[in-house]
Structure 1
Amino acid sequence: MTKPKNNIIVRELVNKYQANCDRITEIADACEKEKRERNEAENAEFEALTRENQILQMKMQAAAAEHLRENPNAIEEATRMIRENSAQGQRTEILLVRDMMMVSDVNSGGIVPLNIQEIMRPLQEGFILDKVGLPMPTGLAGDYVWPLYENVDAELAGEGVELTDKKIKLSKLRATPERVGIAIPVTNQSLNQSQGILEMIVREIMPLAIRRLLNKIICSPNKVNASTKLTGPFVALKAKATTLSAVPTFKELNGMKAKMFETGIEGSNACWVMTKSMAAILEGTPINEKGIYVPMIQNGVLCGLPVYTSNEIRDTDGTEFIGLGDWRYQPMGLFGDIRFIVDPYSKARKDAVDFVLNADYATITVRPEAFALGKVAKVV
């Protein structure tokens, strides 16, 4: 196990970091409840807390690096701690911070720092979000706000003619983080009999479930549930989606692109999103059936823009949609830490261990005009 002195230092760093995060959350909750901005005192406290947390993260990373140098079998040590705690009915907490994690025993104070890639693959892996260039900052705290301004026009004026005053309209958009989570109960018998089930849950199943949900939030033309504000750009566009043929034509799709660019969006990061089946159809469909055979999608490019696939853009009734957008205008942020709890208490009557993962994400469509949606007609 970690040396006692280093163990105490790491525990103190983690506790202080978590306390700071809790205080930041309290400030954000108060502002949201009272429907106001942070006051001067809260701003000063917020900035001090975030600065301190950055320093704490660096110290924790240094402690983790030192521990890993001295303990090359840290993963096995962490796994053993989780199994022993589960057998003894003790809870294990796993705190994920940036590029590292802390596996801690809440009763004895034992703690094992790990590199995050060693025990949980990055959540960006397998993301369509990562492929389309969607900004995804992590470790956020407080408010997720974007200041906006409207364009103003210059004017021609003759010599000595006074220019007309112009006003710049300022506004802002605010995204509210919402909890994303998953819980998987596993009986102690299954846990003891299978040497790989713990690792499979931590490394594969739970991160994959979160990835799939975030993909669905961003790409789906429907809300994940009625009350959520965590939606992608296509939800608002569904009712006014451009009507496309059962097999969309090059002219129709290029028209979608032209209409989006007419709004003034630069589109340097624009791309198409469609289902894998629709991409396969367009790869076999010529641009002009009467001319030289040139597939609509060539080398993953359609109308000069890259094509990425996600089956989440299909509607619940099977209707196909094709989305287009510049994803710089749909940032998604991870607030605070990913919280992973191994809980042997709540399912004790069933002799089961509850694996629970929670995280807070926020996303918002900064520029709705940067996105377009086409609805593919059903074959009658």
Structure 2
Amino acid sequence: MKKTLKELLDERALKFGEAETLADESDKRELTAEERTLFTTRTSEVLVLDEVIASKRQIESFQLGRAAYVGSGEEGNRDTSKGDQRDLAGYNLNKALLAKLDNRALDGIEAEVQQMAEARAKEDGIKLTGNGIVVLDEVLQKRGQTVTLQTTNPGDQGGVLVEKKLQGVLEVLQANTFLDEVGARFMTGLTGDLVFPVQETMPIIQELTEIEAMNDSEILFSSFEMKPARRGTTVPISRQLLIQSSIDMQNFTINAIGEALAQKMNAEAISNLLTIITLANGNLLALGLNGAAPTYNDIVALEALVDGYNHKRGTPKYLTNTKVKAKLKTTQKFTGTNGDPVYNDDNELNGYKAVISNIVPSNLTKGTATNVASAIVYGNFSDFMVGMWGGTEYIIDPFAKKKSAQIEITANAFWNMKAARVKSFSGIKDALTA
């Protein structure tokens, strides 16, 4: 009888489990002759099944290659028949990482998710390393559970003990960037290279008599491209943590990786923003040949630079570091008075929210002020676009930190960022705080 891929994977898991149990038992005692024979038989059967499964997957790959969304039911498995639709909510990242660490082939839901992610990467023109596992972020976002068993009190049969949401790595990444706080425009789940139109001029509103002819008012557009680029970071994780089966431990792994990637995105974003304001057509406000302490007048001047190009749309914000914050909290708006400080208790500068991140450098150089100057950026951050493609690729290195009983996981995500309008931002790179 012809077996489905699910049946083959289930059979492999069963046989592998028997062999694994015998291997664990051999650490405690000598196996009997019957047990040694059974172990040899089961491992041989697993190898045969691996070949059959690989062949089966190759045959079915054209179906998985069209998968654009992962989840459960028709939407999540749109390329499978109703009779063969599978719930992917049981995916476990730690289990997949552990299999890769032990040089075992992925099976079950973890194998299916891998194929779907590889197919998506191919669609997006993303080149994977070929020796890691790949997870579409939608899988983890839909991994959350809700337990409804109860008697008279909601959740009294365990529901209150189950975490109701498991975030994906990209979701954790976004939440841990200053970009999310300043209101940058995140675009997730992108496919392929994109070209965005940008309106550069506003139509001229004309006041006319009842029969006066209207002059043409041309609206000018520009465009910019975004394509996926690989970004990676490496985090140490203990093998002991990976073998834990609870959602909490899977969350721990996801958060560790997501936060590490977030730091990389933060650093890249601030570098991008400082480049924008330094360009020949940028809005850089110089405080002095050797830098100077920022004042209220400088803050207002930053706003005027953006206002002059009619780019103060949405809700502009300020971005700087704790040193500038401390300096401006003790700097009066107008000298010689006991007036309000430039930076108020509502975390505002001249009525606009200020976001504080020490990713914003405080070690810039201007003239004789060496490695002590800080940056301040002002702008309409909704014009700063962050595109995110596909999922996250994980590559395991069991050797680099073997002496400390840890493994290293290198996580590759695919994103790019660009300002839609350079003139939507202004900034200072020589603010002195000491």
TM-score range, shorter chain: 0.5 to 0.7
Q: 1:219 aligns with which of 252, 263, 270?
A: 270
Q: 1:124 aligns with which of 160, 174, 180?
A: 174
Paired residue secondary structure (1:256): helix
More deviation, 174-183/156-165: 156-165
Q: 1:4 aligns with which of 6, 21, 27?
A: 6
Question: How much has 1:93 moved relative to structure 2?
Answer: 2.0
1:181 aligns with 2:232: yes
Task: Decide whether the 8 Å contact of 1:96 with 1:116 is kept in 2.
Answer: no
List runs of 5+ in structure 2 lacking aligned partners: 11-56, 107-131, 144-163, 365-370
Q: Judging changes above 3 Å, is the alpha-carbon distance between structure 1 residues 84 and 120 closer, same or farther for their aligned structure 2 residues?
A: same
Q: 1:59 aligns with which of 34, 55, 76?
A: 76
Q: 1:250 aligns with which of 296, 306, 319?
A: 296
Q: Judging changes above 3 Å, is the alpha-carbon distance between structure 1 residues 364 and 64 closer, same or farther for their aligned structure 2 residues?
A: farther
1:269 aligns with 2:323: no
Paired residue secondary structure (2:197): strand
Paired residue secondary structure (1:246): coil
**What is the RMSD computed on CA atoms of the aligned residues?**
4.3
Task: Decide whether the 8 Å contact of 1:329 with 1:365 is kept in 2.
Answer: yes
Q: Judging changes above 3 Å, is the alpha-carbon distance between structure 1 residues 309 and 18 closer, same or farther for their aligned structure 2 residues?
A: farther
Q: Judging changes above 3 Å, is the alpha-carbon distance between structure 1 residues 285 and 357 closer, same or farther for their aligned structure 2 residues?
A: same
Q: Judging changes above 3 Å, is the alpha-carbon distance between structure 1 residues 65 and 129 closer, same or farther for their aligned structure 2 residues?
A: farther
Question: How much has 1:162 moved relative to structure 2?
Answer: 4.5
Partner of 2:373: 319
Partner of 1:32: none
Q: How big is each residue's C-alpha offset from its partner over 1:49-97, in whole Å with a ceiling of 9 and x where there is no partner?
A: xxx62487832599999565xx7xx75xx53554355234657624133
**Structure-to-structure mapping, 1:25-174, within 5 angstroms:** 53-54=68-69, 58-59=75-76, 66=87, 79-80=94-95, 82-88=97-103, 93-98=133-138, 100=140, 116-117=166-167, 122-149=172-199, 150-155=201-206, 162-174=213-225
Paired residue secondary structure (1:319): strand
Q: Judging changes above 3 Å, is the alpha-carbon distance between structure 1 residues 200 and 279 closer, same or farther for their aligned structure 2 residues?
A: same
Partner of 1:228: none
Aligned letter for 2:179? Answer: L
1:359 aligns with 2:407: no
Q: Judging changes above 3 Å, is the alpha-carbon distance between structure 1 residues 18 and 171 closer, same or farther for their aligned structure 2 residues?
A: farther
Give the TM-score taking structure 1 as reference length: 0.66
Q: Judging changes above 3 Å, is the alpha-carbon distance between structure 1 residues 135 and 143 closer, same or farther for their aligned structure 2 residues?
A: same
Aligned equivalents of 1:212 and 1:370: distance in 2? 24
Task: Decide whether the 8 Å contact of 2:71 with 2:142 is kept in 1.
Answer: no
1:191 aligns with 2:234: no
Aligned equivalents of 1:233 and 1:88: distance in 2? 43
Q: Judging changes above 3 Å, is the alpha-carbon distance between structure 1 residues 332 and 64 closer, same or farther for their aligned structure 2 residues?
A: farther
Task: Decide whether the 8 Å contact of 1:139 with 1:336 is kept in 2.
Answer: yes
Question: How much has 1:159 moved relative to structure 2?
Answer: 7.0
Task: Decide whether the 8 Å contact of 2:133 with 2:395 is kept in 1.
Answer: yes
Asked which structure has the greater RCO (Cα within 8 Å, sep 6+), the reply is 1
Question: How much has 1:329 moved relative to structure 2?
Answer: 0.4
Q: How big is each residue's C-alpha offset from its partner over 1:14-53, in whole Å with a ceiling of 9 and x where there is no partner?
A: 9568735xxxxxxxxxxxxxxxxxxxxxxxxxxxxxxx62
Paired residue secondary structure (1:313): coil
Partner of 1:303: 350
Question: How much has 1:116 moved relative to structure 2?
Answer: 4.5
1:338 aligns with 2:388: no
Q: Judging changes above 3 Å, is the alpha-carbon distance between structure 1 residues 343 and 153 closer, same or farther for their aligned structure 2 residues?
A: same
Aligned equivalents of 2:178 and 2:337: distance in 1? 34
State the identity %. 18
Partner of 1:241: 284
Task: Decide whether the 8 Å contact of 2:294 with 2:432 is kept in 1.
Answer: no
Aligned equivalents of 1:152 and 1:212: distance in 2? 41
Give the TM-score taking structure 2 as reference length: 0.59
Aligned equivalents of 1:101 and 1:94: distance in 2? 15
Q: How big is each residue's C-alpha offset from its partner over 1:97-142, in whole Å with a ceiling of 9 and x where there is no partner?
A: 3352799xxxxxxxxxx96428887212221011011111111012
Paired residue secondary structure (2:167): helix
Task: Decide whether the 8 Å contact of 2:170 with 2:258 is kept in 1.
Answer: yes
List runs of 5+ in structure 1 lacking aligned partners: 21-51, 104-113, 221-231
